[in-house]
Structure 1
Amino acid sequence: MRLHLCAVGRLRSGPERALIDDYAQRFDRTGRALGLGPLSEHEVEDKKGGGMAAEALLLAKAVPDGALLAVLDERGQVLSSPDFAAQLGRWRDGGRQDVAFVIGGADGIDPSLRGRADFALSFGKMVWPHMLVRVMLAEQLYRAAGILAGSPYHRV
């Protein structure tokens, strides 16, 4: 099952980029034997200043046809790492070919796109910077692959 991280904004070199690249590489190595991966990133940018609606159109274009649409949203489900791993496993075992995780810009995800989501995930009640959410998602995907591989999740 291919995974897609679709996000608003370009992440340049720096600590966040290094962390995402590291966790994506770890995920791809661990997930390959489990039928997970690769993890690819799709960055979109609204250069015309159209706001959330324009970002939603760009994000929707970045999502592969037929992919399960999972949005990162403060109103979504709060899952433990083992529960998140189990959810990924269910999607994979259910025959999903692609899952797209969508991260909005500074103002979030337009309701038109959020309403089309198959799944909404929250990293808690706090609001996180969208660039940091990318790092957190990449780490949790790697951790989920480790859990599905039988590694104790606290040691992944």
Structure 2
Amino acid sequence: MNITIIAVGKLKEKFMKQGIEEYHKRMTTLANVKIMEVADEKTPDQLSEKEQEQVKDKEGERILAKIPQQAYVIVLDLKGEMLSSESLAEKLNHLALHGKSKVVFVIGGSLGISESVRRRADFLWSMSKLTFPHQLIRVIVMEQVYRAFQINRGSSYHK
């Protein structure tokens, strides 16, 4: 399976980079994993709603340009469906069994995701009702994808 994670902005914190590198290394025998960053827009504090939408639209255009046409797209979104780790494993297993070998996870910027990216999504996934820094979500997605593969292999990692 080919997994791509498209995320807005550069990862800055060393500990987050190390976490992603660790899970990326663990995934090498399980799937081909690629992480792609797209530039984020500058977001001054006092943006109007219209300006916020413009920022998300520009970031969304960059995201959409990176998504292969045949890919199954999972967008992280507060309005999405919450999944257990086992449900995510089931979903990935189902996709693999039904010929969906390219799966793209999309992580928006600090303002969220554009409507155009939401429309491109095959599935909207909400991690939690909690608010997380979008950079931390990258580490969590990597860990959950790794966990899903371990669940599907019958490994004890996920317990």
TM-score for the superposition, normalised by structure 1: 0.89
User: Residue in 2 aligned with 1:51?
Assistant: 55
Aligned-pair distance for 1:62?
A: 1.2
The within-5 A match list for 1:117-136 is 117-136=121-140
User: Residue in 1 aligned with 2:36?
Assistant: 42
Q: Matched residues in 1 for 2:88 and 2:61: separation?
A: 27
User: Residue in 2 aligned with 1:34?
Assistant: none
SS at match of 2:120: coil
User: Residue in 2 aligned with 1:82?
Assistant: 86
State the aligned residue count. 149
Structure 2: gaps (5+ residues): 44-53
Structure 1: gaps (5+ residues): 32-36
The within-5 A match list for 1:7-156 is 7-12=7-12, 14-29=14-29, 31=30, 37-46=31-40, 51-155=55-159
Q: Which runs of 4+ in 1 moved over 4 A?
A: 47-50
Aligned-pair distance for 1:27?
A: 1.8
SS at match of 2:158: helix
Q: Matched residues in 2 for 1:136 and 1:48: separation?
A: 25
Aligned-pair distance for 1:47?
A: 5.3
Cα pair distance change 1:134/1:116, threshold 3 Å = same
Aligned-pair distance for 1:84?
A: 0.6
Q: Aligned AA for 2:21?
A: D
In the TM superposition, what whole-angstrom CA distance separates every residue of 1:58-85 from its partner, at most 9, and x where no partner exists?
0011112211111001111111111110
Aligned-pair distance for 1:87?
A: 0.4
Aligned-pair distance for 1:46?
A: 3.7
Aligned-pair distance for 1:152?
A: 2.7
Q: Matched residues in 2 for 1:148 and 1:131: separation?
A: 27
Aligned-pair distance for 1:13?
A: 5.7
Contact 1:46 1:58 in 2 (8 A): no
Question: In terms of mean alpha carbon deviation, does 45-54 or 118-127 score higher?
Answer: 45-54
Aligned-pair distance for 1:135?
A: 0.4
TM-score for the superposition, normalised by structure 2: 0.88
Q: Matched residues in 1 for 2:80 and 2:40: separation?
A: 25
Contact 1:81 1:153 in 2 (8 A): no
Contact 1:24 1:39 in 2 (8 A): yes
Q: Which has more radius of gyration?
A: 2
Q: Aligned AA for 1:16?
A: M
